[in-house]
Copies of this chain bind each other. A is one copy, B any other.
Amino acid sequence: MTGTQQEQVHLTLKQAYQLSFDCLQFNGCDDANAHAATQCMVTAEGDMCHSHGLFRLPWYASSVKSGRVNGSAKPSVKQLAPAVIQVDGDRGFAPIGHGVGHEALADCARANGIAALAFVNMFHISAMWPEVERLADEGLCAFAFTTSYPYVAPAGGMKPLYGTNPMGFAWPRHDAPPLVFDQASSAMARGEIQIAARDGHLVPETAGIGPDGENTTDPNVVLQGAQLGFGGYKGASLAMMVELLAGPLIGAALSSEALEEDRGNGGPPRGGELIMCLDPGRFGDPDNFLSHGERLFSDILSQPGTRLPGARRFVNRERTAKEGIHIPGSLFEEIQELIG
């Protein structure tokens, strides 16, 4: 478990869990908060989505240590309307709030056919597929939306305004893991650009523009300029929609307001998250929706070169459960230092 910057360190998932848990606890999380955040990161590592894995741990740890994030958060649930729930995250990380909100949302969706959950007052710096996948595991269909910091230029503009603003979606399957995607409204996720910069790789020129408004393949220049929506103005429309849903709709911060609140100290953004959950059993075709969905999936997979979104993650998950994971030696050392 040692390594230089160039080397990879091998960890079992259990070791990765312990490393993250210890680090968060050492930096000020209580057991419940350290567990929830760790499980989220280790699941991402196990799914081989490194940009949402232990790569984020130093950020988690430092923001608890600085007192910006509440490491002893006790999120609370409030019913705002028959089909609308609010979870106040008590200024903690998102995963512990998700744990508290999950069952209330699932029950509310089953009772009403559709329901929404508004998360406020929490710090969301991980992927969103865990929360929608968990709902789809129970036979429900779910959407999730969250903001971040201003990274993406509006259509036609040059300056960052929107977050990368991902949208997650999950659909239940029969005898198979759910269909899940979780994609940024930007052409690339922020973490992917950061990793490209760290590793000295170029990015596609659709990814962003420099401060001069010109397209560039240099991730460092994009980080100084603005990212772009995927597919141009249509991705920017989605980013704008996500700002409205995870911000004004639920009384949480816009990405630009999250930055103002942060005052440049570089911690995670305090924003909102909206989850919408539908019970397909209440939409008019309760006996057939699952097999009907499978027809679409088999039509997709009958074409050479295709795969279902999320499928690679589930394959990775099975493999890493047995074989463990690798993280960069430099990251491993950074985490060790954070444990003191």
Contacts and interface: CB of A to CB of B under 8 A. Distances in A.
Interface residues of A, number: 73
Interface stretch (A25-33, A34-42, A48-56, A248-256): A248-256
User: What 6 A-B pairs come out closest when comparing CB atoms?
Assistant: A231-B231, A251-B285, A81-B113, A84-B113, A230-B231, A157-B303
B244 A293 contact: yes
Contacts of A309: 155, 233, 237, 240
Interface in A226-284: 229-235, 237, 240-241, 243-245, 247-251, 254, 256, 276, 278-280, 282-284
Interface stretch (A57-65, A89-97, A115-123, A319-327): A115-123
A268 B288 CA distance: 25
A159 interface: yes
Contact of A289 (B141, B158, B241, B248): B248
Nearest to A167: B238
Given A241-B169, A256-B299, A285 B234 contact: no
A82 B118 CA distance: 20
A181 B274 CA distance: 20
Contact of A80 (B251, B282, B289): B282
Nearest to A256: B299
A157 B304 contact: yes
